[in-house]
Amino acid sequence: MSMNADTMEAQLSKESSGGIQKSTDEIDYAERNEIDFTRPVTIAPDIFWVGIYLENDPFQCHPYLIRNGNESILIDPGSMIQIDAIINKINEGCRLSDIKYIILHHQDPDLCAAVPTLEKMINRPDLQIVTHSRMSVLIKHYGIQSGYYNIDQQNFKLQAGDLELEFFTTPYCHSPGAFVTYDRKTGVLFSGDIFFRRTGGFLEVLRR
């Protein structure tokens, strides 16, 4: 998960034969705040939540897009279960070929499994996987071909044009090389799975 929790207190879309149905909580929240969770949700200027809700799945990944020209950044892009919907939302924010960096906060498949497919679609030789060196030795087993930008070898910072991100390690929360990403300019913290909770519904998790 991540960031301005007030912006994303409820997102609970259900696919059915009659189209998208929403819970009462989501309808009430969306009406009050005019948020359309079927499209990218603006978190801060040029920062978007591009995820979806997986019904009856305890592993809810929250991908984010930082639009930054041809050095745009995708964070925790998710698994193959989500990939079609996430790609559609990314395309509303920028071209896939604009993505230069993919940040992976740890190695779990609900965050990383879609990366090999995304690599092929992004199709740029300078695409880099931003992670910790203790994670890259595991992440490579997904068959990822891009180069690695290991944060512990880069002073825990990433400079992408005028954008600077800072990284803070959170060892064993819940992986040895886990970390979080902070955009000081907007004050947005991308917290990965630090606040992950297996019990309770999607709305309950976001409210915490």
Domain ranges of the chain: 5-207
Q: Give the ranges where 34-107 is alpha helix by DSSP (H).
A: 83-93
Across 2-8, average pLDDT: 42
* pLDDT higher at 167 or 54: 167
Q: What share of the chain is helix, strand, coil (3-state, %, to 5)?
A: 30, 25, 45
CATH of domain 5-207: 3.60.15.10
What would the pLDDT profile of 93-130 be if each residue is shown by its tens digit? 999 999 999 999 988 888 889 999 999 999 999 999 99
Q: Which residue has the tokens 């992004």?
A: 122
Across 167-185, average pLDDT: 90
The kind and range of the H/E element at 130 are: strand 128-131
At residue 173, the pLDDT reads 78
Neighbour tally for 161: CB within 10 Å: 11
Does residue 3 carry a pLDDT above 90?
no
What region does 192 belong to: left with phi over 0, alpha with psi -120 to 50, or beta?
Answer: left
Average the pLDDT over each of 9-18, 55-64, 131-140, 150-159 and give the range with the smallest value. Answer: 9-18
